[in-house]
Each structure stands twice: as C-alpha cells, then as structure tokens.
Amino acid sequence: MGSLGTMLRYPDDIYPLLKMKRAIEKAEKQIPPEPHWGFCYSMLHKVSRSFSLVIQQLNTDLRNAVCVFYLVLRALDTVEDDTSIPTDEKVPILIAFHRHIYNTDWHYSCGTKEYKVLMDQFHHVAAAFLELEKGYQEAIEEITKRMGAGMAKFICQEVETVDDYDEYCHYVAGLVGLGLSKLFLAGGSEVLTPDWEAISNSMGLFLQKTNIIRDYLEDINEIPKSRMFWPREIWGKYADKLEDLKYEENSTKSVQCLNELVTNALMHIEDCLKYMAALRDPSIFRFCAIPQIMAIGTLALCYNNVQVFRGVVKLRRGLTAKVIDRTKTMADVYGAFYDFSCMLKTKVDKNDPNASITLNRLEAVQKLCIDTGVLNNRKSYVDDKGQPNNVFIIMVVILLAIVFAYLRAN
C-alpha cells in the first residue's frame, strides 16, 4: 500500500490508498467464470493494475471491448519490444497481427514474465475478441493493422527527426486514442467532434511521450539491444550518442535534453483538455482523465530531474490513489493540470536553453484552466509539502502500541 515513512510524511494519502486497495481487491474478485474472459481480466490485472482499476468504470460491453483491445495491443507491443527476435521474423508478424486476432489456434512465444504468458495463451484473447459485437471487432482490427504496419516501419529505421518522433508516437499511441474513440462511438456512448481524430491522436501522444521520457534508462539498458525512441534532432544537440546522457559527467547536458523533450510533450495539453471536455459519459470521462492527470504529474516530476538518468521516477502511490479518488469532473481535471503546471513552472531554470518556450507553454495551460472559472473551492493535488503530521504520528504510535499489547496478551 505504501511505506510507513511515506504515509507519515503524507497522511492525506492514507484514505485514498485504502480505497484504492479495496477497489483493486474487489476487481480481482470479479473475474468472469468463462476461461477466456477469466484469462483476459486476470492478465489485465497482472500487466497493469491501475488500468484494470480504471477500466472498471465502464459498462460491461464497452469494458470487455476495451479489455480485449488493450491486451491485443499489449501483445503486439510485446513482439515489438522483444529485441531478441530477428528483424526478418519480427516484421511479418507485426504486419499480419491483425489477422491473428481471428485465429484461436495462433500463438507466438516471446516476451518475459506475464507478457510471455499472454503470448503463449493468446488464443484466450482471440476467443474473447470473437465474442465482441461487430462494430467493436472492426475498430480493433483496423487499429491493430495500422499500428502493426507503423511498428514494422520503425523497426527498420531510427527516430531521427521530431516529425519521426511524432509519427512513431502516432503509430504506437495516437492510434490507441483513435481506437478508443471508435469504441466509444460503436458503443453509442459518445458523439465525436469534427476534429476528433486530431485531438484523439494528441491524447495518445501526450501519454506516450511521457512514458518515453520517463523510461529512458530502462530502454537504453535493454538487453540484448537498446531501444532508442528519443529523436536525434533533439538529443543530438546535447550528446554524440544517446547512451552518453546516462553518464554523470554529462548531467548538465542530459537535463537540458530532458527538459526540451518535456517541453515538446506540453504542446499536446490543450488538445487533451478539449477532448476530455467534450466527453458526455461520466464513466468514459474518468477512464480517459485519470491517465492524463498522471501523465502531467509524471512530467512535472521528471522535468529538470537528473534521476531520470539514474533510476525510476514515478508518482508516489498515494498521489496516484488521490488522482483516482478525486477525478470526477472536468473541474477536477482543470485543477490537476493547473496544479502540476505550477509545480513544473517552479522548476524551470531561466538559464535552460528552452526556458522561454517551456514557460510560454505552461502559462498558456494555466490561463486556459483559470479562464474556465472552476479553480476555486477545490483540493490541490500538490499543495502539501510532505511534512509529518504530529497528531497523526501520535495516533499511529498509540494504535501500534495497542496492537502490540494485544498480540503479547494472546
């Protein structure tokens, strides 16, 4: 649930953490009895607990479609990520993957841990896919086909320019945004705006760029071959080789490169806010909004943070629980984006090469949120300073003393 030290430092996290723990336990107990659906939901819990929790917001038909969609793309991603698969073997699999989802006999052994299980028993996912309504099937097949082709393209070429970067992120995440919009439309829950394709794409790009920034060290240390998604057009200003950024002697340049990539990701925020503001179904809104808030929070943590090149940087579990607990309306989203953009703004070094661009983008986001007129009378996500609450500490000590005395007596 979280370390005792962290809970003492952030006592406001405890109630949301307990609620999230209970929600996860409840979701794990609601595994469908049918073997193929049971496998799908069990696997979803294993590969992404937070996603499996958020998906519970959706109605049954849409939840099943999104679950299958997620696992199909996870399987496709597992093939792409496995650097031990020879290129001449990997590319045909990626290109033909949209056909495999109709074949309950198909499987391909690759990946590690739970992803290997997903690939070895992919027939369960195919069986579940075949039970979906035709509208859902068509949307999933189309996006899988386009994504597989895009992944195959970038297996054979590196991400050189910022345009390449946007194109790669479109294939692996922007298409997810488009696919989800198609599923929402097929389920009759939403009406798409005229610019839905562009802003759906931005929803995916914002999440993907956040992941690529955060996962630099994991990707560059991948065995047997590094995965390199940062565009040379940006990192080439700061280093001769992308892996050089992880070395301590290059810390100043590394952080400047990191900051430019975060600044690049900020350009998608206005589209994301427009997309979420147009959603009508409260459950779909929460499903879409929670990951977006976690993304802006993660960018705020990563910005100007050399730890991105040393280890794992991520939101503390208690803050994630708060986001899940508090995100109910668009006012909550505007509040969260305002708070995290303010947090990020305080970290901008005026001597950073991209400081003026970063500040301009942050101020545009802040103005957009302020102009909605909904920022008053709300709880801030980041206003606590992480200071221990003395009364709370005393209560914990007393409670532990009571528990210890009870155990001694029995």
Residue positions annotated with a catalytic role? 168, 214, 227, 287
Residue 151: strand, helix, or coil: helix
Look up residue 111 and give its two tokens. 């990946």
| In contact, 88 and 24? CB cutoff 8 Å | no
Is-contact 106 97, C-beta < 8 A?
A: no
- CA–CA dist 107, 124 (Å, integer): 10
| Burial of 193 from C-beta contacts in 10 A (0-12 / 13-18 / 19+) | middle
Residue 241: strand, helix, or coil: coil
d(CA 145, CA 150): 9
CA 155 to chain CA mean position, Å: 22
Are 189 and 136 in contact by the 8 Å Cβ rule? The answer is no
How far apart are alpha carbons 155 and 173 in whole angstroms? 16
How many beta carbons lie within 10 A of that of residue 262, not counting itself? 25
User: Is the link from the previous residue into 35 a cis peptide, with omega within 30 of 0?
Assistant: no
CA triple 26-32-33, angle to 5 deg: 125
CA atoms within 13 A on the CB side of 320: 16
Would you say the C-alpha torsion 129, 135, 139, 142 has a positive or negative sign? positive
Look up residue 56 and give its DSSP letter. G
Residues 272, 202 contacting (CB under 8 angstroms): yes
